[in-house]
Amino acid sequence: MTVYLVGAGPGDPELLSVRGARLLRAADVVLHDRLARPLLTLAPAGAEVIDVGKSPGAAPVPQEEINRLLVEHGRCRRVVRLKGGDPFVFARGAEEAMALKAAGIEFEIIPGISSVVAAPAAAGVPLTCRGVARSFTVLTGHEDPDRWPPGYAEALASLAGTIVVVMATTHIGRIAERLIEAGLDPHTPTAAVRAATTPAQEVRRVTLATIGNALLTPPSIFLIGDVAGLDLRPTRPDLRANGWLQTSRQG
């Protein structure tokens, strides 16, 4: 059989790919992340659903156990590993793929829309914009910034583009301080985006010096750079038809 590592997207169920939805509807087993729960309505009624989700500071199912479950079920059943965002962007998809490859289990990667690009778009912040930012850099804020290698903060501060920081609600204040100490202007526009693309989405526009006061809870993404001063959110209401996920699980 085959294990499909499916990117569930950033939060809005309608941002799941067509291929991901088709595979989910045909799954025998679904191992899902916490943020992918709204998509479980697409799973067949007879599918075995296993919650392996992590939350900040808590991992009830260790990654080693997730890898074991994928290998065990993947030997004889059609498995969908439903992962938030994209499987290969801060999602440990590489570790799961390596475990499957080592065990000789067939697998496939189904890309998903990462919150790295979805959160800025939902907040009306272009990651790149001609004359404003020609590049963007993504880093994890999970690591204590006081443990950054020598010169790392200075390298980030010297960039002319946008800095995207994920998983940083705990350390964002200190990250901002390190960047300012390294030479980045304290008045640099900064946006904090929480629960991007969902009904709970929040956007706060501050400066680098005040980002530590944003007080957002996970899941949040922080955008640092001149593009964060732009607000290109649409002014018209959302006209999408939202009915396609509003069905119960059925065989």
Write down the domain spans for the chain: 2-113, 116-229
Superfamily of the domain at 2-113: Tetrapyrrole methylase, N-terminal domain (3.40.1010.10)
Query: What's the rounded mean pLDDT across residues 220-227?
Result: 96
- Rounded to an integer, what distance in angstroms lies between the CA atom of residue 63 and that of residue 238? 38
Active site (annotated) includes residue 54 = yes
pLDDT tens figures, 187-202 = 999 999 999 999 999 9
Average pLDDT of span 68-93: 96
DSSP 133: B
Rounded to the nearest 10°, the torsion over CA 47, 40, 80, 65 is: -90
Q: Residue 229: CA atoms inside 13 Å, Cβ hemisphere, count?
A: 9
How do strand 136-140 and strand 189-194 relate by DSSP bridges?
unpaired
Residue 247's pLDDT is: 39
Is a pLDDT exceeding 90 seen at residue 1?
A: no
pLDDT surpasses 80 at 215: no
pLDDT of residue 242: 45
Summarised one tens digit per residue, pLDDT across range 155-189 is 999 998 999 999 999 999 999 999 999 999 999 99
- Catalytic residue from among 54, 83, 98, 231: 54
Is 167 an annotated catalytic residue? Answer: yes
Q: Which residues contact 168 (CB under 8 A, 6 or more apart)?
A: 140, 141, 142, 175, 220, 222
Read off the pLDDT of residues 123-167 as tens digits, 9 standing for 90 and up.
Answer: 999 999 999 999 999 999 989 999 999 999 999 999 989 999 999
Q: Which pLDDT score, from 0 to 100, does residue 238 have? A: 59
Whether residue 135 contacts residue 109, with contact meaning beta carbons closer than 8 Å, is answered with: no
CATH architecture under which domain 116-229 falls? 2-Layer Sandwich (3.30)
Please pick, among 12, 33, 83, 86, the residue that the annotation labels catalytic.
33
Give the rounded percent of residues in the chain with a pLDDT score beyond 70.
Answer: 92
Q: Which of 12, 83, 86, 167 is catalytic?
A: 167
